[in-house]
Structure 1
Amino acid sequence: MPSPSRRSAAFRLPLTCLVVSTILALLLAACGGAATPNTTGSPTTAVKPSVTAPSDLLKSGTLVVGTDPTYVPMEYIDTKTNDYTGFDIDLIRAMAASMGLKVEVDKTSFLTIFDGLNSKRYDIVISSVTINSGRQKSFDFVPYFTAGESLLVNKGNPKNLKSTSDLCGLNVGVQNGTTEQMDLTTASKACQTAGKQAINQTVLQSQTDVIQLLANHRVDATYQDSPVTDYYNKINPGQFEVGGSVVSAAPYGITVRKGDTAMLTAMQQAFQAVRNDGTYDNLFKSYAFSQAAKLQ
């Protein structure tokens, strides 16, 4: 099984209201007592279909999408509307509309997200999946976003952390199964080779819980994709900051079952359609993402 790219302490130190509401809302959305999310979400503005969908999707009229909605701001649950939202969700809804389809979101754990795709539980995956050589052996991809990896630290960067080489002997939070977890393991081995202490990884299932570790000062840093780091830094600059520079830039890809050429072609054409009509550019403006993340 290819490696994917992404629970919390009982006590919590005070956060500003914005971070508290964001994190707790996401956690409540994930727990059993919360209302079931609206899988289809808000209706997409009607557009004239310009892309031909695969025949099975034309019959159902629905594109079923697998995602792990714990990765703000890319995919998450808006607790005010109980809809799935985020850049990825907005993008795939626009792409589906170009094929005359509605989107049904299937919430899943990122650790098992590829299993669900292979078992045909959903048609495609869009969940901030980094394209790498290992995954390309098992799946096909439509690139749509460029992201790197970066450290998030507490305000003032008390330990002056600039890169993974500064993490030897420190406690670092990371999401289970992610590219960052693999890279931290590699960096930890480099620490030991250099005669230093290994990196102590605290590995959790959801990214929101990883961030909560840092808010609770239970880790010295967290390591995740750059859009997530930037998001938490932006919503609470008084508590967090980015440690060092973005590294290992690589594209995210909409993930398709290997050899499903009809689906791959449809996704490629649908992505081009939303680029041509300005939707892609407008999403970048709406989410205030760096132009460097845009696929050129």
Structure 2
Amino acid sequence: MRSPISQRKYAFRPFITSMFVLLALLLAACGSTGGGNTTTGSGGTTPTSKPSVAAPTDLLTPGTLTVGSDTTYPPQEYIDNTTKQATGFDVDLIKAVAARMGLTATIQTAQFNSIITSLQAKRFDIVISAVTINSDRQKVVDFVPYFNAGESLLVQNGNPEHISSVSDLCGKNVGVQNGTVEQSDLQTADAACKKAGKPGINMTVLQDQTAVVQLLATNRVVATYQDSPVTDYYNKLNPGRFQVGGSVVNAAPEGIVIRKGDTSMFNAVQAAFNAVKADGTYTQIINKWGLVTGAIS
């Protein structure tokens, strides 16, 4: 689950030569990742479904739904290495939502820890980027819930460090993405370790999720902590290499993010999402990406 907070940024870490083949395959499947402070478009899509919902009256560009997303977070949003376009569960869903409003969705890559600020500055119409809904976020933006996700640990196959929860991470090297709920939870666990007289958690915090998993692939950390769908994705991508450490915890809803008080946008997006659910498109997209356990009723 990702929850935008302002923190310092970390650079992409280089490959270790002995792991080059594995990580090259990982990147080929995941696609290249976006980054930096400059928001770049990843192209639009032509609506294929008959519009059934009136479009918002305050679009940045008429006929286009401009969507902010940190496209470094497979399987929910990432850049396809072949097409160089944004893809993933969130991307497919927001394209379908846009189509119900007779709009073309254009995905703009943005850094996650500043994406809400960019939305408030009207650089996008909306944001979809695996953003967790919580009380702090609801004070500054509005949400249309669309998915449920928990948190889980990714560890080496066989779980040689016997890690089943964050409480097992005292004194260990752990990777996490900057600006996420998981980072906050690791900070809480780190404090608990120290309070108990144990060594703290040695966190490596990076800007994108693919780089985080590379830390585990190159044995620079013993675990990574991220949304459960992301854990499952990388585990499936690398059979026999990783496994889930322990169980999924802290399940919570994720939402399409809308500027606070933007009634026209909120009502249109909510109605369009309801239409996508009602006609079976939502279920089709959920099944396509293997995220059945996260579907909302």
Instruction: Give the TM-score, by structure 1 length.
Output: 0.91
Query: What displacement does 1:80 show?
Result: 1.3
Contact 2:144 2:257 in 1 (8 A): yes
Distance in 2 (CA, whole Å) between partners of 1:88 and 1:59 is: 21
Structure 1 residue corresponding to 2:71, chosen from 59, 66, 69:
69
Shift of the 118–200 alpha-carbon distance from structure 1 to 2, 3 Å rule, reads same
CA root-mean-square deviation: 2.2
SS of 2:136's equivalent in the other structure is helix
1:136 to 132, 135, 138: 138
Cα distance in 2 between the residues matched to 1:274 and 1:27: 27
Q: What is the percent sequence identity of the aligned residues?
A: 56
Aligned to 2:152: 150
CA contact (8 A) 1:75 1:87 kept: yes
Tell me the TM-score normalised to structure 2 length.
0.91
Task: Answer yes or no: is the 8 Å Cα contact 1:139–1:255 preserved in 2.
Answer: yes
The answer to whether the aligner puts 1:205 opposite 2:210 as a matched pair is no
What is the CA–CA distance in structure 1 between the aligned matches of 2:163 and 2:280, rounded to whole Å?
39
Q: How does 1:1-296 map to 2 (within 5 A)?
A: 3-4=3-4, 7-14=12-19, 17=22, 19-23=23-27, 28-30=32-34, 38-40=42-44, 42-44=45-47, 46-57=48-59, 60-289=62-291, 291-296=292-297
SS of residue paired to 1:249: strand
Cα distance in 2 between the residues matched to 1:57 and 1:49: 16
> Residue 178 and residue 285 in structure 1: after superposition, are their counterparts in 2 closer, same or farther (change >3 A)?
same
Structure 2: how far apart are the matches of 1:169 and 1:92? 41
- 1:136 Cα offset (Å): 0.8
**Secondary structure, aligned partner of 1:237:** coil
Contact map agreement 1:37 1:77 (CA 8 A) in 2: no
Residue type matched to 2:16 in 1? F
Q: What residue ranges of structure 1 are gaps of 5+ in the alignment?
A: none
The amino acid of 2:46's aligned partner reads P
**Can you list the C-alpha shifts for 1:243-296, whole angstroms capped at 9, x where unaligned?**
00000000111001111111111111111000011110001111112x331111
Partner of 1:56, secondary structure, is coil
* 3-state SS of 2:246 partner: strand
Deviation at 1:30, TM superposition (A): 3.7
Mapped to 2, the partners of 1:277 and 1:21 lie a distance apart of 36
Pair 1:26–1:292, CA change in 2 (3 A):
closer
**Residues 97, 272 of structure 2: 8 Å contact kept:** yes
Return the alpha-carbon distance in structure 1 between the equivalents of residues 223 and 26 of structure 2: 19
User: Relative to structure 1, is the Cα distance of residues 242 and 13 closer, same or farther in structure 2, using a 3 angstrom cutoff?
Assistant: farther
What is the CA–CA distance in structure 1 between the aligned matches of 2:115 and 2:200, rounded to whole Å? 30
Distance 2:4 2:210 in 1: 17
Distance 1:148 1:119, change over 3 A: same
Q: CA deviation at 1:21?
A: 2.8
Aligned partner of residue 60 in structure 1, secondary structure: coil
Q: 1:63 to 1:77 in 2, by over 3 A?
A: same
Alpha-carbon distance between aligned partners in 1 of 2:200 and 2:282, rounded to the nearest angstrom: 42
1:4 is aligned with what amino acid? P
Change (3 A) 1:24 1:288: closer
Structure 2's unaligned 5+ residue stretches are none
Deviation at 1:77, TM superposition (A): 0.9
Q: Report how many residues are paired.
A: 288
Offset of residue 25 of structure 1: 7.0
Superposed displacement of residue 59, structure 1 = 6.9
Q: Is the 8 A contact 2:32 2:79 kept in 1?
A: no
Quick one: structure 1 residues 244 and 65, their matched pair in 2 at CA, closer, same or farther if it must change by over 3 Å? same
Once residues 39 and 292 of structure 1 are traced to their aligned partners in structure 2, the CA distance between those partners, rounded to angstroms, is 30
